[in-house]
Structure formats: C-alpha cells, structure tokens
Amino acid sequence: MKQQIYLDNAATTQVLPEVVEEVVKCLTEDFGNPSSLHRLGLQSERHMKQARSMVAKLIQVSPEDIVFTSGGTESNNLAILGTVRARKRYGNHCITTQIEHPSVLNTFHYLEQEGWNITYLPVDRYGVVRLEDFKEALRKDTVLVSIAHVNNEIGSIQPIKEMGLFLKGNYPETVFHIDAVQSYGRLPIKPVEWGIDLLSISGHKIHAPKGIGALYIKRGTPISSLQWGGGQEFGIRSGTENLPGIVGFGRAAQWIQERISNDGTLIKEMKTELANKIAREIPEVVFVGPNPSEGAPHILSISIPGVRGETLLHVLESYGVYVSTGSACSSRNVRTSHVLKAIGVSPQVAEGSIRISLSYLNSNEELSQVPNILKRSVNQVKRFTRR
C-alpha cells in the first residue's frame, strides 16, 4: 500500500481509534435519549455530562457554559445572530476582520443587508490586526466584536488577550466573540481571564467526528436562540442531542488535554524544522503570512513562484502527500482567497499557495520525507508547464 502523509489537518483530522470506540458504543449500546427517564436515558445523560466537562476543561471554563452545536459554522452563526438579536436595541454596529472564515463574513454580509453597520478591520502582511485599529473602531453603539483567534488559511494569531482586556475595561457591554476552531486544543485559551464572552469550537479539528461542535457562553451573556423546541442545551439549542458526536468530542478533548502542554510545543518545532528544510530544498519558496517560527503551531502556508497550487496539490497527492490550497471550507471555490488578498500578496503568489497543516498524529519520520517529495513535485510541475 502506498504511503499516506496527511497534512491537511486544518481542514479536518483523522478520528482517533479510541474516539471511534466510544462513538460505536453510543450507537449500539448506550443509545438512549438523554431526555428519557429510564436507565438508558439516564446513562446517556451521564455520558453527555462527562463529555461536556472534558470539552470545558480544555479551556478552563464551567461545563454549564458549554452549549453543543453541529460544528463551528453553527456556533459562529449562533454567536453572531444570537447576540445581535438580543442586543439590537443597544446599537447596530459590529466589528470583525477582513480575513474571517466564511461562516463569519457571510453572516455579517447578511446583517449588512438587514441594516447593520459592520466594520471590517484590515490586517498587516502577516495577517494580524493592529491593536490601534481595533481600539479606534470601537463605538458606543458597538454591540459585538467577532474575531478568529487563529486564521485557518495562514495561521496568523490575533492578540485576543489584549483585545479582550481593553474591551472589558472600556466597553464592558460589548460582547466579545472568538472563533477558536483552529486554536482549540492547539494553543492555550483562557476565556475567563481574557474577557471572552462567546467562543466557537469544532470537534472534527481535534480528531473527533464531523457534525459536532460547541459554543462557550459566559454566564449572563445576552444571546437569543435561533431554534425552538424541547429546550435542550439550556434552552439555547433545542433538538435531541447528538450523543455519539458529543461523547466522541469529549473523548477527543480528553486525549488532547493529555498532550497539549508537551506535544503542542513539539508540533511547533516540527513545523519550524519542516519550513527550514523546505527552504533549503526549494530556495525560491515564499512563506505566506506569519514567519514559520511564529503563527499557529500547526499551519504553514507556502507558495512556489511559477507553480499553480492546485496542480502541485495533485502531484503531491500522487506521492501520497495530502495538503490543501488555502482554505478547504468553501465548497471547492477556486476564486482567489480573500485572506491572501487582505495581506497584500501578489496574484502569482496567491495562485501558487498551498497550506500544510499538522496534527498530533504526524511524526518526524514522515515529515522528513516531505521536503524532498515537494521538490520532486515542483520540478515535475515546472517541466510540464514548460511544455
């Protein structure tokens, strides 16, 4: 069987065997409805409570502040739309950035059509918001700030702690929402200390199944439900809970908790070493966004001048190496990335960009093969292009 080196972990991760085991058990044995009063229902409720605690522990918050959703997109929609509906009498201004995930940007585009005033903060060439721009954009009628902790395409990290502390010290009524889909389980996150009111997370980015996520809601934060029914998830998100997904999410969070302090640093070191080896093998490589020694520990965005990223992706695939071209969250949309436009890269660099993203399952042994495979793939593409 051909080797498989999976380096598209910012798009999704491989589900852990121990997570699969827990999920299958919930599907075949402990399958009761958590709302039922009989033994199977009470057992399911206990499983769900335990999973909620494990998901909360990773960000040091109370389990009662975790509301399970279907994933990051729903969490972001609930955070944004739920906040503006609850706070609309206090103002009609929101702040976000130019490089957000489509689930955030498109939600704000919808709100603009509804009459809301949205400020899209610019970023520097590394993909980072200037604190001065953030402070200047705040107004008395700003009801919500929504910003991603880590950008999913280039791995830039926003100064969330500084933003949150300034916000709570000067605009305490403004709700602060963080999209932490790419940072949860990879970077330290302290919502209570940093003044974060809402925080979106997703299971399939940390080796849990797809279709499960959560929204942290600080107690007392005003938010309106977007769906009504039986009042599950503390009345915020009605509907029978996805118990197998929730249990899998909890088990994955527990697995990550055991590794994040040591292996989190290890992943960053592996990424930096990989970047250095790529630079030696391919001197013309362009690192897009943050310096490889900075930024998110798992995301490396590169571009090879004169080589189309999509073509390179498929050649790498033929060698068993899986990467992506920018974001994998836009249904195969081939337009130039809005993130790359926002950081000011040239069309040529944007066209040649690929994203390499690591996980706790990647090894030094497999990563040591990547620079040489990448070099061979680049040369193969160049030979084909010259024809």
Q: What residues are annotated to the active site?
A: 329
8 Å CB contact between 59 and 216:
yes
Measured CA to CA, the distance from residue 13 to residue 75 in angstroms comes to 19
Phi then psi for residue 199, to 5 deg, are -150, 125
Chain-centroid distance of CA 313 in Å reads 22
293: its two tokens = 């020694």
Helices 370-386, 260-281: crossing angle, 10 deg rounding = 40
Q: How far apart are CA 97 and CA 104, in angstroms?
A: 9
Q: Which amino acid is at 226?
A: L
